[in-house]
Amino acid sequence: IAGITQAPTSQILAAGRRMTLRCTQDMRHNAMYWYRQDLGLGLRLIHYSNTAGTTGKGEVPDGYSVSRANTDDFPLTLASAVPSQTSVYFCASSDILGANVLTFGAGSRLTVL
């Protein structure tokens, strides 16, 4: 089934630890995105990528990094997790740059203690 796969589904993490959330899509979409969703704040863009080899910062990029080595994978790394990064993280992709029709993964729930 074509779509976006995120891993892990859920994770509890100690503050200060490094964590990578994985995102893989099999739709050959050129654009990929990472959003976080928090109660009362909605979905906020962390980082995005237009195509393999390029990335950009969204609304809330601090404390996060991404890479785009190929079309399919777009991992999000928290170098040193803090409790304020407790959130649900959604990876998304779109097929035509600028068309903005996003397809979302199932999400990764991260708790930082």
Partner 1 sequence: QKEVEQNSGPLSVPEGAIASLNCTYSDRGSQSFFWYRQYSGKSPELIMSIYSNGDKEDGRFTAQLNKASQYVSLLIRDSQPSDSATYLCAGGGGGADGLTFGKGTHLIIQP
CA distances from 53 to 48, 49, 85 (A): 11, 8, 26
If one asks whether residue 99 binds partner 1 (CB under 8 A), the answer comes out as yes
Does 52 help bind partner 1 (rule: CB under 8 A)?
Answer: no
**Nearest to partner 1 of 19, 105 (CB atom):** 105
Query: Around Cβ 31, how many Cβ atoms within 10 Å?
Result: 21
**Which residues in the 26-45 window bind partner 1 by CB under 8 A?**
31, 33, 35, 40-45
| Count, residues near partner 1 per rule CB under 8 A | 27
**SS3 helix, strand, coil % of the chain, rounded to 5?**
5, 50, 50
Among 74, 81, 105, 110, contact with partner 1 (rule: CB under 8 A): 105
Binding of residue 61 to partner 1 (CB under 8 A): no
